[in-house]
Chains A and B, each alone.
Chain A
Amino acid sequence: MNQIAQPVVEIRNLAKSYRRGDQIVPVLTNITFDIAAGDYVALMGPSGSGKSTLLNLIAGIDKPDSGILRVGGIDITALGEAELANWRSRNVGFIFQFYNLMPVLTAFENVELPLLLTDLPARERADHVNAALSMVGLSDRMEHFPSELSGGQQQRVAIARAIITDPTILVADEPTGDLDRVAAEDVLKMLDQLNRELGKTIIMVTHDPHSAAKARTVQHLDKGELRQA
């Protein structure tokens, strides 16, 4: 087993609530935990437990009401809209349940998308994209549009897109939720590989115990609070 290193995500007393009409609904209350670099965390919990909200906060696409949230040593709650966007583009790789590929772009172009936010020249971008796509085993599908790919293939394109910028953390929200068993196994294997061989820190939301079993650490959420399993 690898040595658990410095925490890459530090969460202290994190709270978040939403307004529904004139009601205030607490989603997360007083969350505190760390995620070490190279860890593979599964966030589990029933529907409405706040696991997706927690993932969104860590990924910097939502803002907490209070508490401290440091990723890679940076307090992302202090960042403005534009800084946060810039931060995400370099530090977060996203994998969604429904892949969220641009239907009008090819597999190649979809993977290339995050690199357009860097100042890499076109030649180097292409090299990176080729490498990422061959890693997910889709070298022969580069010019295909998402509608021409199976669900499993689309999710592999999404994974290639997530790792293309070599981000600090990978966040995955139900990555196997829309896939059949074979494709799901495939994706889990790939995540495992990314964690073990490339040392990627992965945070995954799932309600499937089989998926969660692949993770190194499992955090259970219930009614907005962490519960030790």
Chain B
Amino acid sequence: MKIPLSYTLRNLWMRRLTTLLTAGGMALVVFVFATVLMLEEGLRKTLVETGSYDNVVVIRRSAQTEVQSAIDRPQAALIESQPEVAVGADGERMVSKETVVLVNLNKRDSGKPTNVMVRGVAPRGLTLRPQAKIIAGRMFSPGASEIVAGRNAAERFKGAGIGETLWFGQREWRVVGTFDAGKSGFDSEIWGDSDQLMQAFRRPVYSALLIKLDDPASFNAVKARLESDQRLTVEAKRETMFYADQSEMLAGFIRYLGLTLSIIFSVGAVIGAMITMYASVASRTAEIGTLRALGFRQGSVMAAFMFEAILLGFVGGCGGLFLASFMQFFTISTMNWQSFSELAFSFSLTPGIAAKTLAFALVMGLVGGFLPAMQAARLPIIDALRAA
């Protein structure tokens, strides 16, 4: 019943230039489509990794970000004393009272200034973020003007490498180590001793508190108690949610822009496929007539041309995906509008994205091939034969 696949394959091969141009156009569209998905996924991964599910961030109500938040000492003490807070091996409560500020640093490559998040953490704050590990040098010593930089920060900003120094808050800060926080947002931050940073910036208040829960399920109870306490004006969020919320705008922008572009571009590629397929039908009119005379049904002819179009899409899809896979070597660094600070993330290719991308390419071929294939199937046999 079927027209052999080799017929389709060889026809594509015979018109190599056209096949290549059409598939090439599709490949570029697929590349854009895949890249956007990879970027969104990379951003999502970065922010998901940033938080832990059993950690809770407490900030001043409506402050939205740690930088804009302020929590004074009496409030901090009250939050720290909640019964759900986990207790460490040393008998201390697992709470990190942190101060977070933005500092202008210059990029190494362009020299242009950008906002970098500087986080003052309690020594205990490190045990709350087990994903962060020192990969070079050592941790800062409490009480000293020492800082450690995240992997991305050390690479990108002047003065943030080991042995270098940064000047802010009327002090010189020595970079004594680099840490890797597992591709999370912390990789773009600089950490120092909370008390030292507060002194330098003359800030009597903390920015935010990070608490670790004994039991992650007790989150709702803690949240309700903290937010209804008359002495406090705070809100509590799971750390995972907190960071996901922070990138909502950026992720939304990438998704919206990417989707719009993909749709517009795919119109171009579908038109390309359509032109090619119409020409393919036109130049093979006599062949189609012969096939039909031999007894092949309209459906078989339609299927053969649809298959040809889908194959075009497949070639374009593979090409585009191949190109896009190289994007994994790149890291994008941009300001997160909500936190106002620099955030680095990479393109991430997952099997799901690859499947989506290929499906997108096949659909483009399908849409582009439908009308021409229909035309091929509906050619009157005698007229088609006469075209010889």
* Residues in chain A within 8 A of chain B (CB atoms): 56, 59, 61-62, 81-82, 85-90, 92, 94, 96-98, 100, 102-105, 109, 113-114, 116-117, 161
Kindly identify, within residues 36 to 53 of chain B, every residue whose CB is under 8 Å from any CB belonging to chain A. Answer: none
Contact B297 A85 (CB under 8 A): yes
Question: CB within 8 Å of A: which of B356-383?
Answer: 381-382
Contact between B298 and A116, CB atoms less than 8 A apart? no
Closest-by-CB residue of B relative to A85 is B297
Contact A61 B11, beta carbon cutoff 8 Å? no
| CB-based contact B382/A116 at 8 Å | no
Contact string against A for B residues 283-309, beta-carbon threshold 8 Å, 1 for contact and 0 otherwise: 000110111111111110000000000
Which chain B residues border A96 with CB–CB below 8 Å?
Answer: 290, 385, 388
Q: What are 10 inter-chain pairs, A to B, with CB distance below 8 A? A: A56-B382, A62-B381, A62-B382, A92-B295, A100-B287, A100-B290, A102-B287, A103-B287, A104-B7, A104-B11
Are A61 and B292 in contact (CB-based, < 8 A)?
yes
8 additional A-B residue pairs with CB within 8 Å, beyond A88-B295, A113-B4:
A59-B293, A85-B297, A87-B295, A89-B295, A104-B7, A104-B10, A109-B6, A114-B294
Q: With both chains docked as a complex, state the minimum distance between the C-beta of A173 and any C-beta of chain B, in angstroms.
A: 9
Q: How many residues of B contact A (CB 8 A)?
A: 27
Query: Using Cβ atoms and an 8 Å threshold, which residues of chain B touch A117?
Result: 1, 294-296
Q: Which residues of B contact A85 (CB under 8 A)?
A: 292, 295-298
- Assuming the contacts A100-B287, A116-B2, asked whether A61 and B7 have C-beta atoms less than 8 A apart, the reply is no
| A interface: dominant SS | helix
A89–B382 CA distance with the chains assembled, in angstroms: 16
A116 to B1 alpha-carbon distance, docked (Å): 6
Query: Which A residues lie within 8 Å of B323 (CB)?
Result: none
Specify which chain B residues have a CB less than 8 angstroms from the CB of A97 in the assembled complex: 388
Whether B3 is near chain A, meaning CB under 8 Å from some CB there, is yes
The answer to whether A61 and B381 have CB atoms under 8 Å apart is yes
B8 → chain A closest CB, angstroms: 9
- Chain B residues with Cβ under 8 A from A161's Cβ? 294
B297-A82 in contact (CB<8A) = yes
A residues in contact with B13, CB < 8 Å: 104
Closest CB of chain B to A52's CB: distance in Å? 9
Q: Does the CB pair A81–B298 fall under 8 Å?
A: yes
For residue A105, which residues in chain B have a CB less than 8 angstroms away from its CB? Answer: 4, 6-7, 10
Chain A CB count within 10 A is highest, among B287, B289, B295, for: B295
Given A61-B381, A104-B11, A98 and B295 contact (CB-CB distance below 8 Å): no
Contact A61 B298 (CB under 8 A): no
Give the residues in chain B near A100, CB-CB below 8 Å.
Answer: 286-287, 289-290, 385, 388
- B17 close to A (CB within 8 Å): no
Output the residue of B1, B287, B290 with the most chain A CB within 10 A.
B290
Produce 1/0 per residue, B266-292, CB < 8 A to A.
000000000000000000001101111
In the complex, how many angstroms separate the beta carbon of B109 from the nearest chain A beta carbon?
Answer: 53
Q: A81, A85, A105: which has the most chain B beta carbons within 10 Å?
A: A85
What is the minimal beta-carbon distance from B113 to any residue of chain A, in angstroms?
Answer: 62
Of chain B, the residue at the smallest CB distance from A87 is B295
- Specify which chain B residues have a CB less than 8 angstroms from the CB of A56 in the assembled complex: 382
Closest Cβ of chain A: how far from B380's Cβ, in Å?
A: 8
Which of B287, B294, B296, B298 is most buried by chain A, counting CB atoms within 10 A of its CB?
A: B294
CA distance A94 to B3 in the complex (A): 18
A135 to chain B, nearest CB (A): 19
Q: Is B14 an interface residue (CB 8 A)?
A: yes
Are the C-beta atoms of B290 and A94 separated by less than 8 Å?
Answer: yes
Bound state CA distance, A97 and B290, in angstroms? Answer: 12
Given A116-B1, A116-B4, is A98 in contact with B388 using a C-beta cutoff of 8 Å?
yes
Chain A residues with CB under 8 Å of B10's CB are: 104-105
**Partner pick for B4 among A62, A90, A92, A109, CB 8 A cutoff:** A109
The residue on B at minimum CB distance from A117 is B295
How many angstroms from the CA of A56 to the CA of B382 in the assembled complex? Answer: 8
A113 near B294 (CB under 8 angstroms)? yes
B385 contact set on A, CB distance < 8 A: 61, 96, 100
Chain B residues whose CB sits within 8 angstroms of the CB of A102 once the complex forms: 7, 287, 290-291
Q: Which residues of B contact A90 (CB under 8 A)?
A: 295
Q: Which residues of A contact B382 (CB under 8 A)?
A: 56, 61-62
Whether the pair B3, A116 counts as a contact (CB closer than 8 A) is: yes
Task: Give the 7 A-B CB pairs with smallest separation, nearest first.
Answer: A89-B295, A104-B10, A100-B290, A88-B295, A61-B381, A98-B388, A85-B297
CB distance from A125 to the nearest CB of B (A): 11
Q: Which A residue sits closest to B299, measured CB to CB? A: A82
What is the distance, in angstroms, from A19's C-beta to the closest C-beta of chain B? 13
Which residue of chain A lies nearest to B301 when distances are taken between CB atoms in the complex? A85
Interface residues of B in 10-66 (CB under 8 A from A): 10-11, 13-14
Known contacts A100-B287, A100-B388, A102-B287; is-contact A88 B293 (Cβ 8 Å): yes
Query: Is the pair B3, A61 in contact by a Cβ cutoff of 8 Å?
Result: no
Q: Is the CB of B294 within 8 A of A88?
A: yes
Nearest Cβ on chain A to B358's Cβ, whole angstroms: 26
Give CA–CA (A62, B384) in the complex, Å: 12
Within the assembled complex, what's the spacing in Å between the Cα atoms of A116 and B293?
Answer: 14
How far is A88 from B385 in the complex, measured between Cα atoms in Å? Answer: 15
User: In the complex, how many angstroms separate the beta carbon of A223 from the nearest chain B beta carbon?
Assistant: 20
A96–B2 Cα gap in the complex (Å)?
22
